[in-house]
């Protein structure tokens, strides 16, 4: 059973094939409070350039673009997520505003100070080098930029069998400490309405 749960956990961290598609579809249904939390937190303007890290099947990008048309880049380590995310966001892609590619947030292929906003949801547990990922996001954010990171509380994740051996788990204080080490000067935690998820909001 341990191997089965590890397989499920690894699909969360890098969704592949049909199972990956089914799991990301499940995430869209299970995590509404988190998607809505990010969408209402970001004050999107038409001239903004936003990066979503680990877009999965592109559901968050779809919601952000529906809120405000702007320029959105998405990166994900899973090549298999490009097709479902492109399908969901075909309008924005055709309009030349949404750009999806394979990429790792620990080594971002973007110039310094490119983005007004960076978002990510349920991805930080899987980054190979958490501090490097935060440093990279700090680097590509504009000087008054904001990074919104939606996560599940450590106590809740610990109760889920598939997180064992796969997820890196962080306390609220860890998110703050690592963010400060990466260079962020202002870090705020906002609890979401379901009581077991929250946003970590990092300002440069
Ligand atoms: C649990 S899924 C969440 C997907 C999406 N954010 C959502 O909430 O619907 C985690 C996603 O992060 C991606 N990912 C994991 N590590 C990453 C990294 N270092 N850089 C970019 N994407 C990453 C995975 O491939 C996967 O699509």
Given pLDDT bands bounded at 50, 70 and 90, which one contains residue 160?
very high
Instruction: Give residues with Cβ within 8 angstroms of 121, minimum separation 6.
Output: 31, 34, 35, 38, 54, 60, 149, 150, 151
Instruction: Give residues with Cβ within 8 angstroms of 11, minimum separation 6.
Output: 19, 20, 23
What pTM was computed for the model?
0.97
Structural domain span for residue 154: 2-203
Give the mutation target among 126, 151, 168 for probing the ligand 1 site: most ligand atoms within 8 A of CB: 126
Ligand 1 interacting residues, C-beta cut-off 6 A: 12-15, 24, 27, 31, 53-56, 59-60, 75-78, 81, 104-106, 121-123, 126-127
- Reply yes or no on whether the pLDDT at 121 is more than 80: yes
Q: What is the mean pLDDT of residues 88-93?
A: 98
What CATH number did the domain enclosing 106 receive?
3.40.50.150
- Reply yes or no on whether the pLDDT at 2 is more than 90: no
- Amino acid 181: pLDDT: 98
User: 124-154: per-residue pLDDT in tens?
Assistant: 999 999 999 999 999 999 999 999 999 999 9
Give the total number of structural domains in the chain. 1
Residue 187, SS3 per DSSP: strand
């Amino acid at each position: 059973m341990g191997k089965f749960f590890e397989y499920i956990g690894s699909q969360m961290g890098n969704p592949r094939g049909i199972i990956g598609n089914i799991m990301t579809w499940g995430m869209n249904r299970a995590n509404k409070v988190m998607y809505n939390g990010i969408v209402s937190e970001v004050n999107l303007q038409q001239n903004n350039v936003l990066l979503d890290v680990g877009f999965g099947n592109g559901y968050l990008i779809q919601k952000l673009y529906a809120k405000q048309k702007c320029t959105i880049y998405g990166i994900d380590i899973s090549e298999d997520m490009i097709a479902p995310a492109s399908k969901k966001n075909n309008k924005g892609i055709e309009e030349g505003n949404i750009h999806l590619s394979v990429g790792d947030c620990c080594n971002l292929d973007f110039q310094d100070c490119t983005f007004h906003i960076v978002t990510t949801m349920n991805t930080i547990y899987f980054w190979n080098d958490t501090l490097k990922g935060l440093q990279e996001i700090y680097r590509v954010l504009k000087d008054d930029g904001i990074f919104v990171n939606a996560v599940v509380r450590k106590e809740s994740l610990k109760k889920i069998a598939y997180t064992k051996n796969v997820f890196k788990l962080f306390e609220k204080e860890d998110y703050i400490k690592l963010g400060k080490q990466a260079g962020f000067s202002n870090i705020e935690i906002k609890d979401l309405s379901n009581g077991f998820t929250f946003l970590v909001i990092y300002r440069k």
